[in-house]
Chain A
């Protein structure tokens, strides 16, 4: 189950950064995680720092509901950016159905992204220092003209998004934010199902045994540190930020 979430097979990203992130992720387990970072390894592998944001030059998602909202905003930024690139240059010979699905996903994720920016900004009374900045992305040698690579990446992003919201729900204390997360995660799950069927038509993959445990019928749920480690592995997010105050 974990494997499909962590690995984006078709993508080969700058090796040095990916290995660095893996090592870095290991080193700070429990204290948080540096998601993406320059090759400057200050502080990595050291003991957890009691300071909630030991490196003020790097944005930290924050704690509590704000941390979860910023975390969701990061994931929505990634999804929105990815689908923007997909729809701006569809792979060749795309079917009408696939174009419709990917276009809708682009609409939905852009809507989610801009919603989070507005909602978080409102939640912190306009103190934009507390709002995750606009992130930058690099897809390495992912070939946006390759159907298999685009759909596989979309599938990983949607599966990961669902697991992320599922795992983050318990970290939310405000019922209103919990409801909002619920409104979004089911749409992400609808996406995940559709993409899975595009990849393997006529199969049981829409809610496959690789993602839904067969004995309990539960979809994946992951902690922020697990999700961010997986996202870090892709190398897609190039703007550094930390999640030192989320599990």
Chain B
């Protein structure tokens, strides 16, 4: 399956209208050039029919898994390149990236096998650009220097892992009643374990407070955290359950991770995907 067609399946009128939050996400990052702005425009929105994917493929579980595979391709290639870049300090950072890389590779293989086992052609691996059109230089390919490159490697890893957690969560409902629900939850938990460690490697808490992206995170990553400030769970405002610290705004937002819609997950991933 064509990745562009697949991603188009997630686009909708809101995106076509140029959702402000999405444009802001890229427009407000000072270091992002016009090239990056261009790359941020959703693929083929002007020319491609928006329901292509829905017509091409079947049920919700399949699109959920195809989205998951797309995100896993992204993470897998990112960690491979990170480990090859020479940017990572030895010791804890390298150990952590190696372990995560092992899991992302396994997730890619697992999802491909699962889709093929279900008689579905997996989406092809897109061409990734982890500079996001020149905004970043995480592998020090363009000579930004090891220190800056390493900071970007960590920031991108955090954004990818926190996105992965939210994206899998957002697809769980689409997998309800499917044999893929349990494995998807099992991957979801692994992404959260990764996210916690990468955040802690960056001297942040392992969990997300309010909708804070955390110190040192580029403003471009704010879309990953928008909505995490929610305190209404199952119709209950959990800050009203008590007056003490466990029910503060901070604790109440940390205690629950929020889901990300397929559209929003695609919008974030699209920053790093090269349109052919």
Contact = CB atoms under 8 A, between A and B. Distances in A.
B7 to A, nearest CB: 23
Interface in A157-178: 162, 165-167, 169-170, 172-173, 175-178
A36 interface: no
A239 interface: no
A212 B193 contact: yes
Given A108-B255, A166-B186, A203-B95, A115 B172 contact: no
A199 interface: no
A165 B251 contact: no
Main SS of the interface on chain B?
Answer: helix
Nearest to B203: A97
B236 A169 contact: no
Q: Which of A203, A216, A217 has the most CB of B within 10 A?
A: A217
B220 interface: no
Nearest to A190: B196
Contacts of B91: 202
Contacts of A176: 234
A136 interface: no
Interface of A: 100-101, 104, 106-108, 110-112, 114-115, 118-119, 122, 162, 165-167, 169-170, 172-173, 175-180, 182-194, 197, 201-204, 206-208, 212-221
Interface stretch (B37-45, B79-87, B104-112, B123-131): B104-112
A165 B181 CA distance: 12
5 contacts: A100-B205, A108-B254, A186-B189, A186-B192, A206-B194
B137 to A, nearest CB: 27
Contacts of A118: 236, 241
A197 to B, nearest CB: 6
Interface residues of B, number: 60
Contacts of A101: 206
Contacts of A188: 189
Interface of B: 91-92, 95-96, 98-100, 102-107, 109-110, 165, 168-169, 172-173, 176, 181-183, 185-197, 200, 205-207, 233-236, 238, 241-242, 245-248, 251-252, 254-259
Given A104-B205, A111-B246, A202-B91, A207 B257 contact: no
Given A111-B247, A162-B189, A185-B188, A216 B254 contact: no
Nearest to B190: A219
Contacts of A169: 172, 181-182, 185
Contacts of A186: 165, 169, 188-189, 191-192, 257
Question: Which 10 residue pairs are nearest across A and B when measured between Cβ atoms?
Answer: A217-B106, A189-B192, A193-B196, A218-B186, A107-B251, A190-B196, A204-B99, A186-B192, A206-B197, A217-B103
B234 A193 contact: no
Contacts of A202: 91-92, 95
B193 A216 contact: no
B182 A170 contact: yes
Contact of B193 (A107, A112, A190): A190
Contacts of B109: 216
B255 A112 contact: yes
